[in-house]
Chains A and B, each alone.
Chain A
């Protein structure tokens, strides 16, 4: 018999051995494929991230931004340079990496294309997640929740949307806040009075003036209206979530990971909270 302990292994005996041990051979083959795939994936995700590598080697992180949206980004009237929460955030992330951030001014419409085409390394510009573009770009964890919220006076007994029956709710006419308010009105069987105003500031002022019991408004408008957080407070979860994120190319998984790690570190050490307070006040955290 071939392969017996008393005879040396020949090529024919080895083949015969594997034929008899089909299951074993299949398992070995599967393990081999798995190892190979893992190695390929690792190569693609670490050594293969050209964007991350370029940033490390050049020491410069090029970030696209449309500086027309305060307080996140705007051109300083004196220096002509961009300033804002996003600018500070970009510089803070770059400091985490030991590189320099270079802000590239672009129109908002072209930010996604510019990132996908590697004209810039990333984009930070009060950007929400664009779910239809995930083949081209990837999005970090959120660093700010800009969505629509329900706010009430500090001393109000209202604790959420379920308490709004029979109440007056202010909103900016035509805004997402208006849409949310109308949806609530429908849910409550019409037992909610809409107080519509031309701007979010006027809607917020209506609550302050006692013309409304609550307001549905985006969180940025709320923060800017009441930076100290003295007159109004948010109750409940956002009625519509609009998280702002950092955008990177879809084929830059290491860069995405680096951004997320940096954001987590900035959150942990209080930097993110300080930036939000600086630009949005206590209500902006």
Chain B
């Protein structure tokens, strides 16, 4: 028996609704989260920053707790990694679910998010390549993603970092590192982002501090890489230089030198900026700090790590007017790494604060330094 005339309009409406659901671009529903009242950060040092690591943290309460503790420590800035592969699983289809959670909780805690973008989806690279592989054929796809990210987070994220440590072959998909290639990637991402939101600030570089010898298959010295970026015409295509500044076994005061990897190596990068007529730009140290593992050769004792870290925060405040924020790696890992890398963290997997956290918190409150126990 054929359908009656009274059932046909309802079925047609249902069919239309289903069709609309299929053809409309996928939009993530903003996850419902329970926020507390809007918070603000109280601190004597507005340049304090930490690199959180919430990419693998799926539980909303842990994301919220992480940012609460960052705020309570006194750091107004966070760097967080947003994976292209996770947020654009297929071309033109976006899933901002997790990113919304992270950004909204950070904002609720009064934190400024610096969003590092990277990690290539399978569809944007040849088979059997690493997830950090992106050749020139994929630059436009990345730029489109950057534009989509900037558009979605307009008003909520004001700073983005394009790629990470492109002067390391590993981070360049195990290709020979290429300052010219990175500059082109940066250019395309910059133009796409500014077209989407002229107010967005683009951080470029994020170079790994390295003393790789000339001709190394694994890396290119960060000073040389930055100079070659300028020679390739990079200056108009980043607003702020992202820098990585690890202290290893040296104190915060250890003087900068081309043959040393220490905190103040960032001053050498700033010198390159000045020599290339870019001295008016700011630098943001998006990764850095010290490690206090008992046996790692590049670690210091815990008390020294505390002292060095606080010195670095203070140095950024009163000696480096060209540094916007000093972001220390890493606030917490979702689960223990079981390696010396656990000794970079401020808070353990169960949210127990380590001595470095308590010391930074006391510093941010303007209290005198003390070492426990």
Contacts and interface: CB of A to CB of B under 8 A. Distances in A.
Those 4 A-B pairs whose CB atoms lie nearest each other, nearest first: A174-B354, A128-B338, A110-B170, A68-B297
Given A69-B296, A113-B170, A114-B170, A198 B302 contact: yes
Interface in B304-354: 336-342, 348-350, 352, 354
Nearest to B334: A132
B303 A198 contact: yes
Interface of A: 68-71, 74, 106-110, 113-114, 116-117, 119, 126-128, 132, 146, 172-174, 176, 178-179, 182, 196-201, 220-221, 224, 240, 242
Interface of B: 56, 129-130, 132, 168, 170, 174, 218, 294-298, 301-303, 336-342, 348-350, 352, 354-356, 371-373
Chain B at the A interface: mostly helix, strand, loop or mixed? loop
Contact of A242 (B170, B338, B349, B350): B338
Nearest to B173: A117
B294 A199 contact: yes
Q: Which of A74, A117, A174, A200 has the most CB of B within 10 A?
A: A174
B314 to A, nearest CB: 22
Contacts of A106: 218
Contacts of A197: 373
Contacts of A178: 352
A46 B295 CA distance: 40
B294 A200 contact: yes
24 contacts: A68-B296, A68-B297, A69-B296, A69-B340, A113-B130, A113-B170, A116-B130, A117-B130, A126-B339, A128-B337, A128-B339, A132-B56, A173-B302, A173-B354, A173-B372, A174-B348, A174-B355, A176-B336, A176-B348, A196-B372, A198-B302, A199-B301, A201-B294, A220-B295
Q: Which of A117, A126, A221 has the most CB of B within 10 A?
A: A117
Contacts of B372: 173, 196
B350 A179 contact: yes
Given A113-B130, A174-B355, A70 B295 contact: yes
A127 B341 CA distance: 11
Contacts of B339: 108, 126-128
